Structure formats: C-alpha cells, structure tokens
Structure 1
C-alpha cells in the first residue's frame, strides 16, 4: 500500500433468506426456526427477562413456540402496531430518514445467524445504520438508565449487536416510546464492539451446533422464577402417580445448600432478597429434575431427605366462562368451573439410615 493511502473496509453483503412481505405468521416463524434471530440472543446468553435458553431450544425444534412477553399479548400487539409511528417520531427527532427492507437476512459466513430488522437509517455521511423500535410503559422507562447513566437494556443490546454482525453495519439506534406524545421517547445509539461480537458469535454457534442440531436441551441456568415457569409450561400438570425422582450428587448438594439458606433466612432481616434469590435458583434446579413427579429423594450423611412438590388445585372460573355464565346460567356455575394449579415445595428429613 502506498504511503499516505487509507485502507477501505470491504463490507460483507448479507445473504437473503426470504422476502418477508406477504408471508403468513406461520411461514415467518418457520423461517425463523432455520437459525438464531436477534430477539433470540438474550435467551441463549441467559439475560432474557422473559424466557430461558431451554424455551428457545424448544421453539427452534418446533416443540413449543414461546414469544417474548406472551403473558401480555396486548402490549406485544400494540408494539407492532405502533412501529410506524415510533419510526416517524425518530425521523422528526433526529432528521434521519428511516426505511424498511422486508427481507430476512443471513450472515455471509454464518448462515444460521438471521436478521429481520425493523428499520434501516440513512445517515448524512452516506452510511447505513439499524433502527430498532421499542415500546414500554412509563414505569419501565427506568430500564434505559443505570445509576443515572443512559444505557440500552442488555437484552436489547444483544439484539442490536447481533443485527450489526449479520448486516456488517457499525451503528444501531433504538427508539423507545413510553408515553403518548413525541417527547416521551428514548433514543439511544450503540456502536459496534468486535470483542463482544466475537464472543456472542461463539456462544450462538455453540448453542446452534451443540443443542439445536444435536437435539440436546441446554441446562437451566436462569433465575428461579423463570426456570420454574418454564418447567411448568413444558411438563404440564403434576402427576401424583409418577415415581419419586432420585437426586444425584450435584442436586443433593444443591438441596443441602437450600436447607442451609433456609436456616439463614430465619435469622436474617425480613425480605433478604439475596438469600431468597439463591433459594429460588436452587429450588428451581430440583424442580426441573422432578418434572411431573411430586416427590424426590436423596441421602446425605446417613439422613434420608424427601422433597415433595404437590399440586394445590383451586376451582375457579376463567373470564370467558364467567361471561357465558352470566348470559346463559346466572344461577349455576359448576359446569363452567376450571381448575388452576400451583405446587408447594417441602423438604422432610429422616435421621435413620436407608
């Protein structure tokens, strides 16, 4: 290279997996299962507030689909409906032009990395950036700050960095509407971080090859509540006739630690969150092993331990049946009763050797 000349980076053009305009929801989901998309990354990294890596695994194998925020489908649907409006607010606030390309892209080198980008942005210097549209409520806007410093929530950051890798672009904007006027909006930008990207690609590739393609479910490593909800979703109702599960050495050690923390909690300040979260994680690991079973057993130092996780079923009437009840049979409700279920986790020990 001649002295004084500058290197020009050669961009990798992403591949096009499919044109998304006109695809049905089922067709679109089918293409998403051909790889890892931006909204999948947080789950496989263990930083998603909504789903576990195992949820993602089940989704990719089409065993069960789990959408982020599925418990609040109205908020999810509102987010989709408001995308054009939020993009317009972004344009007014920044002066940049935003536009859509209705295609699902693949990474040029790693075709299992997919990108279905909300919007692209035309910048004044002639370069292109990514724009991700988000909506939230007024209280949740605090997630966009950390200790008073502006930030992008980590679960959205991973999505943006995935898209930058697939599209080989260096800038990603986020525009999040949290109110009902154009001033109640948060705009953030992240720049490409190659060290982050390298590790992310490694972890994505590992997940795709060693779990999805190998059909080997990943272990549960997430927070206790998230794991317990995932187990409930995929194992279904408790089965009191199922045989007791024997806990291996690793799970027995977790049970012993759970009991230690249980004792510590009695002498700790009320609502000690650190102890409670540790207990939830340990309990979740045991519950994941138990599945439908209501009992688990193990032995430690000559003591037999029995864990019970029994269902608590409460009769109730869901909203749809309640409406029908009022209209059709105001004096009779038994035939419309549905049964909800929760389960109680209890540990008992017997000092006699097995």
Structure 2
C-alpha cells in the first residue's frame, strides 16, 4: 500500500525534482536495472545525491506532459473506461525508498482499481511498440504496482501524433521482487554516499565522457592491482572482436561476390542488398588549400579522449 507524500497539483517543476530525490521513481527503475539507454546508474546516483546541476525539462518531456490529457481522453473515448487524474506523489509503506507519480487511476472489470499510464513516442520508435511494450516502461509500471499494491495497469501511447495504442499489463510478482531488491541496494548506495559500480552500457560510457571531458597534460598515476584483471578482460574482448570482425567481413565479401553487379539477392526468407549510394561531402582538404581564410572561419575544432592500452617501455 502507498501513502501520499506530497500533492503535485500546481507544484513548480524544480520543487517536483527535489521531491523525486527522496526516493526512486518509476522512470528510475530501468536505470537502476541497467537497461536504460540514456542514463547510467552512477549518473542517477549523482542526481539523487545532489551532485548534478539543475536541468530544465527537455522538449520530449514537455510535450509528453502537454499531451497527457489528450491521451487520457482518447483512451476513455475508445474504451469507455473513465480515468481519474491523480496529482500526488506516493510512497510505499513497506519500502519507503520507492515512489510513484501516477498519470491516473481507473477501474478494471476483473482487477478493480488499477493504474493508468500515458506515453507519447516519435514515429521513429513505432517499431518498439509493435505487439510489445518497451522494457523500460514494463519496469516503470511494475514499480508503480509495487508501490500501490494494484493488480494491473492500462498503458497507452500516442505514436508520431497519429497512431494510438493501448495495452493492459498484469502485476508480475517476480519482476516486482527483483525491483525491490535492486532498488533497495541502489538506495543503500545513495544513503551511504558511495557510487555504484559502472557497467558496460553506452549510458555509462557517455557519463564518463561528460564527467571527465579533458585530460591533464602529462599527468600520471599508479593504478591499483585490480587494473591488471580489467586490462586482461579488455584485451581478451578485443581479440574476440577482431576475430568476429574478420569473420563478418569474410561473409560480406563472399556475398558481394555472389551479387556482382546486381543490387538485390534473395535466399529463403532473407533479402541481401548492395546498393549504390551517392552523397555530397565537403572537400575540406581542397577548401583549406584554396581558401584558407574561409576554411579557418567555418572550421570547428572538436576534442575527445582516446583510450588505449600499450606495453610500457
């Protein structure tokens, strides 16, 4: 069961963000589980421990909020199921670190009171909703059901502004048990002010690039002994990548040889294509040689940190 932690009606956005730092919300669940493509657990930990600067809501989040009423009304129009809008930040009685901010509540004919969740998605992500629901949203609504004790959730999505879909998700005790364990462990890191371990996700790599964008010239440190095992892991993975890359290139070369001048080849239910593609690109080398002043005016200097492992001399 849940208790009301705060009313979110007319609550300023920055105040709402402060309340969210008092626990783990539904949209945080996929980050804690390490499957979020855009945020790493360490980045979430920094947010919960007030180590990240304030950020305004992005365009996608803004329009998702603006379209929430439209999605809610369309769901009622199509199903006849009325949705009660909720403006409350809920907290689990049994697991106080688990918070929930529901888009609404409605009645299921079998399960009774349940959750309503409204989503919007770009047309580019339409494939993620084909006969399925993205994993991060599955975790989000299961998190909400853990907080509220409800048995189900209606989740709706407006895709590309012109495609509307909805599904009903039943409570899954196995997923909920996993969430309680992982979120509890994560919240222990927050309370102890100790960061969780980084993983191999793109979000973690992005976090490191943004956290440490520049190296101090000529600076040098002695790495701990645990670095030896990580170096071995890295080099073994590179060997595997090189092996599979060569196998991939060999298969590609042989298929191209089979195609010859043909653009398309078919076998069983597979379609192999080798198409001609024309692109216009700026010849920076020629521009620099013939118009150096113009080149310097419009050239952008970018920097990044190159990672490598070599044998010390």
Answer yes or no: same fold by TM over 0.5.
yes
Shift of the 201–126 alpha-carbon distance from structure 1 to 2, 3 Å rule, reads closer
| Residue number in structure 2 paired with 1:178 | 159
Q: Deviations over 1:283-333 (max 9, x none)?
A: xxxxxxxxxxxxxxxxxxxxxxxxxxxxxxxxxxxxxxxxxxxxxxxx999
More strand by share: 1
| Residue number in structure 2 paired with 1:250 | 229
SS at match of 1:142: helix
| Residue number in structure 2 paired with 1:35 | 23
Give the unaligned 5+ runs of structure 1.
1-11, 273-330
| Residue number in structure 2 paired with 1:112 | 97
TM-score by length of 2: 0.77
SS at match of 1:172: strand
For 1:289-308, list aligned pairs within 5 A.
none
| Residue number in structure 1 paired with 2:116 | 131
Shift of the 65–119 alpha-carbon distance from structure 1 to 2, 3 Å rule, reads farther
Query: C-alpha root-mean-square deviation of aligned residues, in Å?
Result: 2.9
For 1:78-89, list aligned pairs within 5 A.
78-89=63-74
1:49 and 1:271 map into 2 onto residues whose CA distance is: 31
For 1:67-216, list aligned pairs within 5 A.
73-124=58-109, 127-145=112-130, 150-181=131-162, 184-209=163-188, 211-216=189-194
1:126 and 1:228 map into 2 onto residues whose CA distance is: 42
Aligned residues: 270
Decide which of 264, 271, 274 is 2:243's aligned counterpart.
264
Structure with more relative contact order (C-alpha pairs < 8 Å, separation 6 or more): 2
| Residue number in structure 2 paired with 1:240 | 217
| Residue number in structure 2 paired with 1:277 | none
The offset of 1:126, in angstroms, is 8.6
| Residue number in structure 1 paired with 2:304 | 342
1:16 and 1:48 map into 2 onto residues whose CA distance is: 28
1:48 and 1:190 map into 2 onto residues whose CA distance is: 20
| Residue number in structure 2 paired with 1:6 | none
Give the unaligned 5+ runs of structure 2.
252-292
| Residue number in structure 1 paired with 2:285 | none
Decide which of 11, 14, 28 is 1:23's aligned counterpart.
11
2:150 and 2:36 map into 1 onto residues whose CA distance is: 24
Q: Are the aligned partners of 2:98 and 2:147 in contact in 1 as well (CA < 8 Å)?
A: yes
TM-score by length of 1: 0.69
1:16 and 1:266 map into 2 onto residues whose CA distance is: 54
Q: Are the aligned partners of 1:17 and 1:106 in contact in 2 as well (CA < 8 Å)?
A: yes
Q: Are the aligned partners of 1:55 and 1:66 in contact in 2 as well (CA < 8 Å)?
A: no
